[in-house]
Structure 1
Amino acid sequence: MGCTTILVGKNATYDGSTFMARDDDSGSDDFNIKKFEVVMPEDQPRHYKSVLSKFEMDLPDDPMPYTETPDAVQKAGGIWGQGGINAVNVAMTATETITTNPAVQGADPLALDGIGEEDMPTLVLPYIHSAREGVERLGAILEKYGTYEFNAIGFQDVNDIWWLETIGGHHWIAKRVPDDCYVVMPNQMGIDSFDFVDAFGEQKDHMCSSDMIEFVEKYHLDRTMDEDRDYDSLKNCTDFDSRAAFGSHDDSDHTYNTPRAWFIERYLNPNTFIWDGPDADFTPMSDDLPWCLQPEHKITIEEVKYTMSGYYQNTQYDPYGGYGPDEWRGKFRPIGINRNSVLSLTQIRPYMPKEIQCLQWVALGSCAFNAFVPFYTNIETTPEYFQNTTAKVSTDNFYWSNRLIAAMADAHFQSCSNFVEQYQNAVAYKAHALIHETDAAYEEKKPSGADLHRFLEKANQEMSDFTQEKTDKLMDQVLFTASMEMKNKYARSDA
């Protein structure tokens, strides 16, 4: 499934938090109907069976509570939890579907009875106590059972973000995001340089499956022109070109994948490179876009939302815009697409007590038209407006309300875009104000145990109620505008 991920190290964010955001997109001509919930230990399986494969596995008997944004309606089968935050403030996002090449697929075929995106959060998130531990647990499962698809997975704690990419059916590599950088990942393998010395030594910033060097050498996956590297030289390699070795090099990447990374990097680093014109350093079709970049300024929540909702606005590729020739509009696959199901950002704040350290920002539906809503995650339930997504279309939940707004506003974009922007700003203003108020109230009251859960749930409910009010107002505005611009309109009212 098409998705986009952005990872931001703690020294690259406005407040010193770590950020990890990913949107989950439905497959072509489909909707994944999503909700936001908490999984309590009593609801976590002790013996897990996959729906899409024959994989099954016993799970530990001590799971922690965790948030997730799973399918609300089990059309494709499975949970598809997509990730969240657990009780010890460790986050996971799963997964970014990625691509590889025939040499890798032939060397390590996919494991048809292995694990996939539908399984991963359930198998990992309730049991890990750090981002590194998440890599280790998932890596061990991949080596033992394999996977039936190519995926990339993020793990996050208050200090670190790690990014794991599967290589074939049973192999994987993982790299730590530099503290002062951000990473953009569309649906293709992204890690562009890998340090085998670190991975088989200190493992400060790199980890991989136990036989990765043997795998590379045996199947001639090293693409370097510098030398004919053997096992010993690979062991001493600190800059292995993993993207060339393991990644895809398809024409379709230039319309589906690389343009999305180009858009975000262009926005966050507008002066670092030339992004447009005949002298551009990078274009939407560049295969060598950096895996990570130091941003030109520290990144905010709103900038993540803007870029992760991007449809190439302010470029000639904007399907709604008036820049450039008509044939360029809609040429590239947007990030903010009609089939967005959920966008989730996990924020872990180092300056707050552990009890209220984590926020999960959630947007449901098409991201160009929805709003980002924050929730404290040390809770036992979520607001009904975000949890009660039904198979039947209903304005009683956030998901379907945003679907309806997007469908109407898209057809009347110029008339409705100002309403949408006002709505998004209103929710953002309230979000930050409520976070400040709740943080201050916690410091004053210091609730604990069940009182703490109720305290945070009350704040979440207030945020949900405000969002529902503003979403209903936006729907009124968009519906009225769309109705007034119907093809069968006529100006004269009376005879």
Structure 2
Amino acid sequence: MMACTTILVGKKASYDGSTMVARNEDSSSGQYNAKKLIAVASEGHPNVYHSVLAHLDIDLPENPLSYSLTPDAVAGQGVWGACGINSANVAMTATETITSNARVLAADPLVIYQESKGDKGSADYQEEMAGGISEEDMVSLVLPYIHSAREGVERLASLLEEYGTSEMNGIAFQDVNEIWWLETIGGHHWIAKRVPDDSYVVMPNQFGIDAFDLEDAFGSQKEHMCSKDLREFIEENHLNLSMNDQFDPRLAFGSRTDADQVYNTPRAWVMGRFFNPNTYKWEGAEADYTPQSFDIPWSFVPEHKITVQEIKEVLSNHYQGTPYDPYAARGDSKMRGAYRTIGINRNNFIGLTQIRPYMPESHRSLQWMAFGSNVFNAMIPLYTQVSQFPAYLSQTNAEVTTDSLYWSARMIAALADAHYYQTQAIIESYQAKMDHQALAIIKNFDQQLISADDKQKNEIRERANQEIVDQMIKETQSTLKQVLHIASNGMKNAYARSDN
């Protein structure tokens, strides 16, 4: 399982009418999973998918699409494809690990892989039992085979019902018109809700959906879908805890623990506070919501339209401007680091998928990427309909090297963190330069692509990506050099006198 933070932005809530989905993939505490960005061609797909962790084989449909993928860079535990966009301009991010409760898990247990026990042929022999699908598998099983966000929900739902899952997860599907969010319930059940066009959604490792229209889900399915037997499942297992007629899935299927109040709810609080500072009161005795509130809404209508840069900023948040900032130099030191930050040391990457309605289908989609701890990294946009991505992103492996953006970002973060205030201006300059330089390159190549013929377009998209990455290499190397100089001057064995 991965600890993550997700934000979903409907098309009427975004600055340019795009749908936008962004997620930090974070490793477990004390772990750091190297990631890469690759292009997967439509040709050469296997007929059967093998799940490494579940010991499960699943037949795959014919005619897969090409797609971008952000898998683990070091082989061993499966694909962990994380996020990508296919050639039909449909995106998927998987997964946001979420919570559940004992009532749900007793009624529909997770499908956990079981090794065989005993000697074959003996009376006490137990056969190996395959596990259910999980975060390792979902993008590879779904993204190459869907042509809309709704189709993504339907395909993943059918797999969950047939094979089950070994963990609780939230998954986003996105096309140019809409975003759907699916949450698993126990081993085989699920619900999905369409993100309102004028809203954004905050998801911090906690069961999120807080309102659900069962009549719509069992009727026209305009904005809600769910397992075919969800009504019976809720009733038979006494899961509905609402005191009125409004069904609250978060109460029924989620959790309300002390751990949530230091790990999850503070992240929802700070994201809502970021985009809606005036809509609600966020601090003080009369606050509408505090970092420990269990009723922070799943979705908000923002006070202004949301930009890509603001999404990056909020997914880098470490409670700056509050008493909880681990880097705070003033205020009550007792509360510093009290809550789990969004921008954390173990961010593997941020992937932001943007599908632009005003661009032709040939270059409608951008996948924005940053690697390592978000507090210290910079994010770049890339065209996804390509045969390959630049080596700086796609050739990452276990070797620590400045030839990889992932490892370069990790080095910058580890050095800058220990010298936060001395390096803050350098990091901010790095991030700002890449923001406007990369956007200028995209703007230029968007125009080239409009007038290009189909045979030229792949080469132009790849050339644009390489130009952006070349600029990223230059700025990343410069930033690393500057941060390394400051860190070297701050070493404990420094001595002012020299022989010069």
> Percent of aligned pairs with the same residue?
56
CA deviation after TM superposition for structure 1 residue 492, in Å: 2.0
- Shift of residue 277, structure 1, vs aligned partner: 1.6
**Residue matched to 1:137:** 155
Alpha-carbon distance between aligned partners in 2 of 1:225 and 1:322, rounded to the nearest angstrom = 45
Q: Is 2:135 the partner of 1:117?
A: yes
Normalised by the length of structure 1, the TM-score is: 0.96
Q: How far did residue 201 of structure 1 move?
A: 0.5
| Kept in 2: contact 1:26–1:339 (CA 8 A) | yes
Hey, what's the Cα distance between the residues in 1 that align with 2:67 and 2:304?
32
Contact 1:447/1:455 (<8 A) preserved: no
How far apart are 1:453 and its partner, in Å?
0.9
Paired residue for 1:98?
98
Aligned 8 A contact 1:386 1:398 in 2: yes
Cα deviation 1:177-218 (Å, max 9, x = unaligned): 000000010101000000000001110100001000010011
TM-score normalised over the length of structure 2 = 0.95
Shift of 1:493: 2.2
CA drift of 1:43 comes to 4.3
The structure 1 residue matched to 2:266, chosen from 259, 278, 291, is 259
1:370 counterpart residue number: 377
Please give the secondary structure, in 2, of the residue aligned with 1:12. coil
SS in 2 for 1:29: coil
Distance 1:414 1:170 in 2: 49
Matched, 1:288 2:295: yes
Is it true that 1:487 corresponds to 2:488 in the alignment?
no
In 1, the alpha carbon distance for the partners of 2:311 and 2:243 equals: 38
> Which residue does 2:349 correspond to in 1?
342
Separation (CA, whole Å) in 2 of partners of 1:447 and 1:419: 42
Q: Does 1:224 align with 2:242?
A: yes
Q: Which residue of 2 aligns with 1:84?
A: 84
Structure 2 matches for 1:205-220, cutoff 5 A? 205-220=223-238
Match of 1:422 in 2: 429
Give the Cα–Cα distance (whole angstroms) in 1 for the partners of residues 208 and 461 of structure 2: 37
The 10-residue stretch of structure 1 (401-410 or 317-326) with the greater mean CA deviation from structure 2: 317-326
Q: CA deviation at 1:114?
A: 1.0
Q: Secondary structure at the match of 1:281?
A: coil
2-side partners of 1:324 and 1:166: how far apart? Answer: 41
Partner of 2:210: 192
- Per the TM alignment, residue 323 of structure 1 is displaced from its structure 2 partner at its CA by 4.0
Q: Structure 2: state its 5+ residue gaps.
A: 113-130
In the alignment, the residues of structure 2 paired with residue 151 and residue 164 of structure 1 have an alpha-carbon distance, to the nearest angstrom, of: 8
The answer to whether the 8 A contact 1:37-1:67 is kept is: yes
Cα displacement (A) at 1:325: 0.8
Following TM superposition, the consecutive aligned residue runs of length 4 or more in structure 1 with deviations greater than 3 angstroms are none
Question: Do residues 204 (structure 1) and 222 (structure 2) align?
Answer: yes
Q: Does residue 23 in structure 1 map to residue 24 in structure 2?
A: yes
Q: Equivalent residue for 1:393?
A: 400
Residue 175 in structure 1 maps to residue 181 in structure 2: no
Cα deviation code 1:136-173 (max 9, x no counterpart): 00011111111010000000000000000000100000
- Deviation of 1:108 after TM superposition, in Å, equals 0.3
The CA distance in 2 between the partners of 1:246 and 1:61, in whole Å, is 35
> Which whole-Å CA distance do the structure 2 matches of 1:252 and 1:462 have between them?
45
Aligned-CA RMSD value: 1.0
Partners of 1:279 and 1:220 in 2: how far apart?
Answer: 34
Paired letter, 2:479: L
Q: How far apart are the structure 2 equivalents of 1:319 and 1:83?
A: 29
Partner of 1:436: 443
Paired position in structure 1 for 2:9: 8
1:461 paired residue number? 466
What is the number of residues matched between the two proteins?
481
What is the alpha-carbon distance in structure 1 between the residues aligned to residue 44 and residue 85 of structure 2? 16
Distance 1:422 1:181 in 2: 31
Q: CA separation in 1, counterparts of 2:430 and 2:405?
A: 14
Amino acid at match of 2:442: I
Match of 1:447 among 429, 448, 453: 453
CA separation in 1, counterparts of 2:462 and 2:200? 31
- Three-state SS of the structure 1 residue aligned to 2:93 is strand
- 1:324 is displaced (CA, Å) by 2.5
1:300 is the counterpart of 2:318: no
Report the equivalent of 2:338: 331
In structure 2, which of residues 385, 390, 401 is the aligned counterpart of residue 383 of structure 1?
A: 390
Equivalent position SS for 2:192: strand
- CA distances 1:196-241 after superposition (whole Å, capped 9, x unpaired): 0000111010000100001001111011223xxxxxxxxxx6x311
Do the aligned partners of 1:39 and 1:67 also contact (CA within 8 Å) in 2? yes
Q: Which moved more, 1:402-411 or 1:430-439?
A: 430-439
In structure 2, C-alpha distance between the alignment counterparts of 1:408 and 1:322, rounded to whole Å: 19
State the alpha-carbon separation in 2 of the partners of residues 296 and 363 from structure 1.
26
C-alpha displacement of 1:290: 0.4
